[in-house]
Structure 1
Amino acid sequence: MKHIPKLLGYLKPFKSKIALYFFTTLLAIVFGLFSFGMLIPVLQVLFNGDQKPQTSGTGFVTRTTNFINDFAITHGKLNVLFYIVLALVITTILKNLFVYCSLLILNPIRNAVMRQLRDDLYSKTLSLPIGFFTEERKGDLMSRMTNDVSEVEVSILSVVESLIRDPLMILFTLTTMLFISPMLTLFLVLILPIGGLAITKVGKSLKRPSNQAQEQLGEMLANVEETLGGMRIIKAFNAERHQQLRFRHINNTLFRIRNNIAARREAGSPMSETLGIIVVSVILLCGGYLIFSGKSSLTGAFFIGYISLFYNLITPIKSLSQSFYNMQKGSAALDRIQELLQAENTIVEIPAAKSINSFNTSIELKNVGFSYGKKEILKNINLTIQKGKTIALVGASGAGKSTLADLIPRFHDVSSGEILIDGQNIKDLKIYDLRRLIGVVSQEPILFNDTLSNNITLGTGGMNQQQIEDAARIANAHNFILKKKEGYETFAGDRGSRLSGGERQRITIARAVLKNPPILILDEATSSLDTESERIVQEAINVLMQNRTCIVIAHRLSTVQHADEIIVLNHGEIIERGSHNDLIELTGTYRKLVEMQQLK
């Protein structure tokens, strides 16, 4: 519940519309009460219309009864009944008109809040460092951005209508009832809080299981995402039953939690209705006593009207109790959303960050160390990369090659030491400008379910068709694109599923060519391709690397023999460095790695 004020903060831009909603709701309630109030004169005319006015009494009931009786005697019961029915129709029409107007005002506000919440979540997700996504499961993050947001909309924002309308309804109805019978209404006000306490206690018990349910939904989505991504492996290892059991365990847990939530939530409406009937029974006894004993000016018509108003009061009370349950349920989802919105972004730009528009001399890593939690990944890295040179990072899996490369565009920040570009610490530079200088071609090509043209222009913008095609030609992609039925407007499919591995890789190379960065980080992109695709892609990479400063993460050492310097990493430390020939003569780790690959 502590995060609900933050959610309500999204309503600030709509203060004037909320005030208008308040006004239209108020009018709807007033006309609604008039509609209910018409029952009293109808009964009065039908059963007591020919009685002479009472001469004593100054109360509201006495004055109203005298007025109705006098009017019926003067104008005739049928005429009075006609006017009352006409007033009933008019007030009902006006009531429903204002109800409709209030909903027309409220729904766009609610939708705008949800739109902004989704935008904020997506923007926050994009701003978080890469390290965050290694800790969190993608399925859980997707669940927060979809299921949790939907839960907030249904459980909390839908309650906004109730929180404005129902208290007004209760207040105006009680005020009207107070005019009819102060004694009965005072008694009513005293006993209603007892039921409210019982409902509140049940509602508070909803939050914990609701939070568990949202977490299980995240687990389920993560499991489905893993299954869809690893379907080939699942089938190859006959692991369908294993995956089915995993999913079934999560699904059964969610089943039990949701049943628990439903049992508690659904107790609210019957509980409030039962309490209402008990109160009505007591009111009937007390009201009957007052009428029969003559100790009150309350008449039969007004008493029936009073009972009708009380039934009218039960609806908003039930709605408020249901809203309280929903808020408890939705607050668990809101907590998970706020946890993401408040996640710490460790890659921050200093207020006085400098612009950088070109790369002129060198990249320097001075005593660089990097730790992931308590685990030290890199330590005491000293490296200078001159402009136009190619540096290859070599080492066994887990040696720290990719992590070292990721430090340069600030995908991670160093734990110690510093990285300089042209003598400036990269932490002092604008992140956008820094990354504009760097192109990345990853080992696993990442494409989006968009046109090939848009995949090539990703992040660049403003490029014309000729520039796109020129980049594709350099990447050896133009010809295969033209063979597609829709050419550059062909959709790549989910993660590029409609293209072969070599085609996907060439599109990512075309993307880097179009960006034309002075610095290129190349996670060897040919290691998983067939011979022909490897040849075509390697030709494109060779063209891409010309006249650039390149950092190559090498998996197959035959591709980096012509690098200006080869850096050999082991357990996060540089253990050897030099040219291919120098390192072969050294008969150290590099030579062993080369010989092992030659044996393969």
Structure 2
Amino acid sequence: MALTSKQIYSRLLKYSRPYAGRIALALAASLVVAGTDVASAKLVQPFIDLIIADRNAALAALVPVFVIGLAALKGGARYVQEYFIKTAGQLVVQDVRNDLYRHSLSLSMGFFSKNSSGGLMSRVLNDVGIMQRSAADILVEAVREGFTLVGLTGLAFYTDWRLACLAFVILPVAVVPASVIGRKIKDNTRKGQSTMGNLTAVLQETFSGIKVIKAFGTERAEDRRFRDENLSFYRYMRKVLKYDSASAPVIELLASFGVAAVVWYGIHRVISGAMTQGELFSFVASVLMMYGPVKKLTKVSNTVQKSVGAAERVFEVMDEVPEVADAPDAVEVSSVRGEVAFDRVSFSYGDEAVVRDFSIVASPGEVVALVGPSGAGKSTVAGLLARFYDPIAGAIRIDGVDLRRFTLDSLRSHIALVDQETFLFNTSIAENIRYGKPEATDEEILEAARKAFADDFINALPEGFRTSIGDRGLRLSGGQRQRLCIARAILRDAPVLILDEATSALDTESETMVQKALANLMKNRTTFVIAHRLSTIMHADKIVVMEQGAIREIGTHRELLEAGGLYRKLYDMQFEG
């Protein structure tokens, strides 16, 4: 359900409460700034009536003192106001960005499978960036110009209420076009930011897949795709700029009617003796100064609408409820023997069933292999065990306890994953190995690397374990990256291990080294192995053959070959000839 502007303001207000002291100090300084503007307008009257008309040289000597004094007071107060209100705005939006990032990390894998990473990056960076710029501008301009407008309005009515009423007849008329323009800006800002998400997604895909792009020579096609998205973003932003640029001229045109009426009527009142020249000039000065804040506040309103459009997209993500979360009575699991049982588990992505009535039991230390054609549901079973998803029917138990009874953090601390996508971070080798166990010592890291058969190539690098491996570890070969991932899993020392196609993309020599490393990793652990290459799982204690999400056969390698079923068919296809 879409949030209303009132709900968005209310949520942003909650974020500003911790910085109430800064905001209060800025508000006090704003009163001083507004007071100097009102004083400047008021002093026009004695300047005309007492100094110019009466030719009072003594008072004329004090004019520079008043001018410089007001300027110094206004300058100091304005500095205090802008500094404290802007830092408060920055801190508010920093908290919003931190909460958005933290909440995004808590969302389930299902959310990330339905939303592009580029779109999410756009919300964290671009949308919050608009809020960040807007927060400072809104708070500074709205507070200062609002107080100034109130002060000048009071001065105008105090000087001559009849002229003031005439001047203010036009203001309600100006509100209508300003509100229409604001709504247009909000709608087009939201659409533009959505397009910016697509643009960010194109960038992210381009730089991540640059090798594929160059290999297939599709630079021109990608360039066209980027240009199309960029043009779409420009079209929305052009509309925002069009409406934003129109607001000031519209206000000025409408204001001119009020100023013309005031000057015309005021001259007649001076001629009739109802007011002095100084009073007229003071009033006109206050009215002219008043329309400045009105125009600035209209700009602030436009900025607010931009911010609301961006904030809607930010809070949209923050209102997402994780599909997988800790139960209210979830408990910490301190130790695990490693017995894993799937009891009539079923799962679907939407209407598409990918796992059906899946039941197996893995004893502690047992190796269970999951094989079958592509799309059989093997990786989904692994994802269910890691509790990336929750089954729609049945239960998964570790040591007889349903996974949903454990807290997510404690559950996953007892599970290690080595995936076919060897994801490494752009930091040192030591930090990548330490990722699963931040408190690990250098000696433990060295031992994990040795067991993963990674120490030789690491020590051959210029900086050894301190070597930075680049974005996603691209400076290393596929086999080297995989062995670092295995070292990371060895260091974690979890009793339950998931190997998802851990050798699928390796050459024969690398696979031999990785298989040795995996053998060290699998010792005394309950292991679920997903593999297309049947040669890698022949010695598994239990082989589960899957097809279309269901179990077709279970047995050892020899038993399944002798049965002559689907496993035999897959085996013959791989080893034909």
Fold-level similarity (TM above 0.5): yes
Q: Which amino acid aligns with 2:38?
A: L
Query: Do the aligned partners of 1:35 and 1:92 also contact (CA within 8 Å) in 2?
Result: no
- Separation in structure 2 between the aligned mates of residue 568 and residue 333 of structure 1, nearest angstrom: 49
Query: Do the aligned partners of 2:106 and 2:322 also contact (CA within 8 Å) in 1?
Result: yes
- Cα shift at 1:157: 4.7
2:127 aligned with 1:122? no
Query: Do the aligned partners of 1:38 and 1:84 also contact (CA within 8 Å) in 2?
Result: no
2:206 aligned with 1:201? no
- Separation in structure 2 between the aligned mates of residue 361 and residue 105 of structure 1, nearest angstrom: 56
Post-superposition CA distance 1:309-331 (Å, at most 9, x none): 22211121111111111222222
Match of 2:29 in 1: 24
- Separation in structure 1 between the aligned mates of residue 110 and residue 545 of structure 2, nearest angstrom: 24
Query: Do the aligned partners of 2:170 and 2:255 also contact (CA within 8 Å) in 1?
Result: no
Secondary structure (helix, strand or coil) at the match of 2:544 reads strand
Q: Which amino acid aligns with 2:73?
A: L
Match of 1:450 in 2: 427
Query: Do the aligned partners of 1:4 and 1:334 also contact (CA within 8 Å) in 2?
Result: no
Match of 1:221 in 2: 200
Query: Do the aligned partners of 1:439 and 1:519 also contact (CA within 8 Å) in 2?
Result: yes
Secondary structure (helix, strand or coil) at the match of 1:206 reads helix
Greater Cα shift, 407-416 or 15-24:
15-24
2:11 aligned with 1:6? yes
- Cα shift at 1:45: 3.6
Match of 1:59 in 2: none
Among 549, 564, 570, the alignment partner of 2:526 is 549
2:237 aligned with 1:258? yes
Match of 2:127 in 1: 148
- Cα shift at 1:167: 1.9
Secondary structure (helix, strand or coil) at the match of 1:263 reads helix
Secondary structure (helix, strand or coil) at the match of 2:169 reads helix
Q: Which amino acid aligns with 2:526?
A: T
2:323 aligned with 1:362? no
Post-superposition CA distance 1:520-568 (Å, at most 9, x none): 1011322211222222111111111111110001121100000000001
2:116 aligned with 1:111? no
Q: Which amino acid aligns with 1:464?
A: T
> Could you say if the C-alpha distance between residues 361 and 207 of structure 1 is closer, same or farther in structure 2, counting changes exceeding 3 Å?
closer
Query: Do the aligned partners of 2:169 and 2:258 also contact (CA within 8 Å) in 1?
Result: no
Match of 1:494 in 2: 471
2:191 aligned with 1:186? no
- Separation in structure 1 between the aligned mates of residue 576 and residue 89 of structure 2, nearest angstrom: 66
Secondary structure (helix, strand or coil) at the match of 1:232 reads helix
- Separation in structure 2 between the aligned mates of residue 358 and residue 599 of structure 1, nearest angstrom: 45
- Separation in structure 2 between the aligned mates of residue 348 and residue 178 of structure 1, nearest angstrom: 61
- Separation in structure 1 between the aligned mates of residue 446 and residue 171 of structure 2, nearest angstrom: 75
Q: Report 1:442-521 matches (<5 A).
A: 442-521=419-498
- Cα shift at 1:361: 5.4
Match of 1:381 in 2: 358
- Separation in structure 2 between the aligned mates of residue 47 and residue 107 of structure 1, nearest angstrom: 42
- Separation in structure 2 between the aligned mates of residue 84 and residue 37 of structure 1, nearest angstrom: 14
Secondary structure (helix, strand or coil) at the match of 1:468 reads helix
- Separation in structure 2 between the aligned mates of residue 347 and residue 414 of structure 1, nearest angstrom: 10
- Cα shift at 1:203: 1.5
Query: Do the aligned partners of 1:32 and 1:92 also contact (CA within 8 Å) in 2?
Result: no
- Separation in structure 2 between the aligned mates of residue 405 and residue 365 of structure 1, nearest angstrom: 11
Query: Do the aligned partners of 1:34 and 1:88 also contact (CA within 8 Å) in 2?
Result: no
Query: Do the aligned partners of 2:33 and 2:148 also contact (CA within 8 Å) in 1?
Result: no
2:390 aligned with 1:413? yes
Post-superposition CA distance 1:476-525 (Å, at most 9, x none): 11222222222222212111122221111111111111111111101132
- Separation in structure 1 between the aligned mates of residue 232 and residue 87 of structure 2, nearest angstrom: 36
- Scaled by the length of structure 1, the TM-score of the pair is 0.93
Query: Do the aligned partners of 1:206 and 1:261 also contact (CA within 8 Å) in 2?
Result: yes
- Separation in structure 2 between the aligned mates of residue 222 and residue 428 of structure 1, nearest angstrom: 37
Query: Do the aligned partners of 2:341 and 2:361 also contact (CA within 8 Å) in 1?
Result: yes
Unaligned runs of 5+ in 1: 51-76
Match of 1:158 in 2: 137
Q: Which amino acid aligns with 2:485?
A: T
- Cα shift at 1:166: 2.1
Secondary structure (helix, strand or coil) at the match of 2:27 reads helix
Match of 1:285 in 2: 264
- Separation in structure 1 between the aligned mates of residue 66 and residue 227 of structure 2, nearest angstrom: 61
> Could you say if the C-alpha distance between residues 299 and 459 of structure 1 is closer, same or farther in structure 2, counting changes exceeding 3 Å?
farther
Unaligned runs of 5+ in 2: none
Query: Do the aligned partners of 2:170 and 2:254 also contact (CA within 8 Å) in 1?
Result: no
- Cα shift at 1:569: 0.6
- Separation in structure 1 between the aligned mates of residue 368 and residue 522 of structure 2, nearest angstrom: 11
Post-superposition CA distance 1:142-184 (Å, at most 9, x none): 1111111111122345212223222211111111111211111
Match of 1:245 in 2: 224
2:28 aligned with 1:49? no
- Separation in structure 2 between the aligned mates of residue 84 and residue 555 of structure 1, nearest angstrom: 90
- Cα shift at 1:111: 1.4
Secondary structure (helix, strand or coil) at the match of 1:355 reads coil
Post-superposition CA distance 1:401-456 (Å, at most 9, x none): 00001111211111100111111111011111110110000011111111111111
- Cα shift at 1:265: 1.2
- Separation in structure 1 between the aligned mates of residue 413 and residue 320 of structure 2, nearest angstrom: 26
Q: Which amino acid aligns with 2:373?
A: A
Query: Do the aligned partners of 2:370 and 2:530 also contact (CA within 8 Å) in 1?
Result: yes
Query: Do the aligned partners of 1:41 and 1:84 also contact (CA within 8 Å) in 2?
Result: no
2:45 aligned with 1:40? yes
Q: Which amino acid aligns with 2:143?
A: I
2:330 aligned with 1:353? yes
Secondary structure (helix, strand or coil) at the match of 1:357 reads coil
Match of 1:136 in 2: 115
- Separation in structure 2 between the aligned mates of residue 157 and residue 341 of structure 1, nearest angstrom: 22
From the CA coordinates, give the structure whose radius of gyration is larger: 1
Query: Do the aligned partners of 2:51 and 2:57 also contact (CA within 8 Å) in 1?
Result: no
- Separation in structure 1 between the aligned mates of residue 507 and residue 342 of structure 2, nearest angstrom: 36
Q: Which amino acid aligns with 2:103?
A: K
- Separation in structure 2 between the aligned mates of residue 224 and residue 434 of structure 1, nearest angstrom: 36
- Separation in structure 2 between the aligned mates of residue 233 and residue 361 of structure 1, nearest angstrom: 41
- Cα shift at 1:230: 2.2
- Separation in structure 2 between the aligned mates of residue 313 and residue 484 of structure 1, nearest angstrom: 70
Secondary structure (helix, strand or coil) at the match of 1:525 reads coil
- Cα shift at 1:4: 2.6
- Cα shift at 1:221: 1.0
How many residue pairs end up in the alignment? 572
Secondary structure (helix, strand or coil) at the match of 1:3 reads helix
Secondary structure (helix, strand or coil) at the match of 2:149 reads helix
Match of 1:54 in 2: none
Match of 2:505 in 1: 528
Post-superposition CA distance 1:281-322 (Å, at most 9, x none): 12111111111122x2x2212212222222211121111111
Match of 2:313 in 1: 336
Q: Report 1:86-97 matches (<5 A).
A: 86-97=65-76
Match of 1:64 in 2: none
Query: Do the aligned partners of 2:436 and 2:488 also contact (CA within 8 Å) in 1?
Result: no
Q: Which amino acid aligns with 2:507?
A: D
- Separation in structure 2 between the aligned mates of residue 344 and residue 84 of structure 1, nearest angstrom: 65
- Separation in structure 2 between the aligned mates of residue 599 and residue 239 of structure 1, nearest angstrom: 37
Among 339, 345, 349, the alignment partner of 1:372 is 349
Q: Which amino acid aligns with 1:150?
A: G
- Separation in structure 2 between the aligned mates of residue 178 and residue 406 of structure 1, nearest angstrom: 71
Greater Cα shift, 555-564 or 260-269:
260-269
Alignment RMSD: 1.5
Among 407, 412, 436, the alignment partner of 1:435 is 412
Secondary structure (helix, strand or coil) at the match of 2:475 reads coil
Match of 1:302 in 2: 279
Greater Cα shift, 319-328 or 558-567:
319-328
- Cα shift at 1:125: 1.1
Post-superposition CA distance 1:22-51 (Å, at most 9, x none): 11111121123223433332223443225x
Greater Cα shift, 532-541 or 78-87:
78-87
Greater Cα shift, 151-160 or 349-358:
151-160
- Separation in structure 2 between the aligned mates of residue 46 and residue 109 of structure 1, nearest angstrom: 44
Query: Do the aligned partners of 1:178 and 1:185 also contact (CA within 8 Å) in 2?
Result: yes
